[in-house]
């Protein structure tokens, strides 16, 4: 597998609830691309929030600002030939659509796991804190998650292993001619 011959990269935008498997799968996709010699960077939502969006809260406006910042950085990297993998909840459809409109070669990947599965996987205990009222505005509990309507890839992460899910992403990138088999 190698990057298709063109002058720009691709943005692979993972979205889904906390605990849906976004970051785990994103890192497996990253490894596969790096092994193939494809230049790639991951913009993890938690890391970006800590370094680029420090001070933002979790209001809809602040969440949208965070996503705009991720999209802006992804666009800069992508137009210079780098594949960019984002792994951020990005709960609102409108802001994901805004990101899509500013980025050429955008592949939306929906890590679709039932809320119960995400809660079972929650190593940080965030869902329990949200259900206990200790965290307000938690996506999937008392703040909405708007599932994508037309994602290029829908991963049933409660049914498939992270490796199987990552291969679905790679297969889609090949199908869309962003990389060659």
Which residues belong to the active site? 90
Could you tell me whether strands 11-15 and 40-44 are parallel, antiparallel, or unpaired per DSSP bridges?
Answer: unpaired
| Contact of 30 with 40, CB cutoff 8 Å | yes
Spatial separation of the C-alpha atoms in residues 112 and 14, rounded to whole Å: 10
Spatial separation of the C-alpha atoms in residues 1 and 17, rounded to whole Å: 30
Which candidate, 25, 16, 14, places its Cα nearest to that of 167? 25
Spatial separation of the C-alpha atoms in residues 76 and 78, rounded to whole Å: 6
Grouping H, G, I as helix, E, B as strand and the rest as coil, residue 40 is strand
Tokens 């596969």 — which residue?
32
């Amino acid at each position: 597998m190698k990057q298709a011959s063109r002058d720009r990269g691709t943005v692979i935008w993972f979205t889904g609830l906390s605990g849906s498997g976004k970051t785990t799968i994103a890192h497996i996709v990253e490894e596969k691309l790096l092994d193939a010699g494809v230049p790639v960077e991951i913009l993890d939502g938690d890391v970006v929030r800590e370094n680029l969006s420090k001070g933002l809260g979790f209001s809809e406006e602040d969440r949208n600002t965070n996503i705009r910042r991720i999209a802006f950085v992804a666009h800069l990297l992508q137009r210079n030939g780098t594949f960019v993998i984002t792994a951020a909840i990005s709960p609102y459809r409108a802001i994901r659509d805004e990101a899509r409109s500013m980025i050429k070669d955008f592949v939306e990947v929906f890590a679709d796991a039932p809320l119960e599965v995400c809660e079972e996987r929650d190593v940080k205990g965030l869902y329990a804190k949200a259900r206990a009222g200790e965290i307000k505005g938690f996506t999937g509990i008392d703040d909405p998650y708007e599932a994508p309507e037309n994602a290029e890839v829908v991963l049933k992460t409660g049914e498939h292993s992270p490796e199987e899910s990552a291969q679905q992403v790679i297969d889609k990138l090949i199908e869309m001619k962003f990389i060659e088999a």
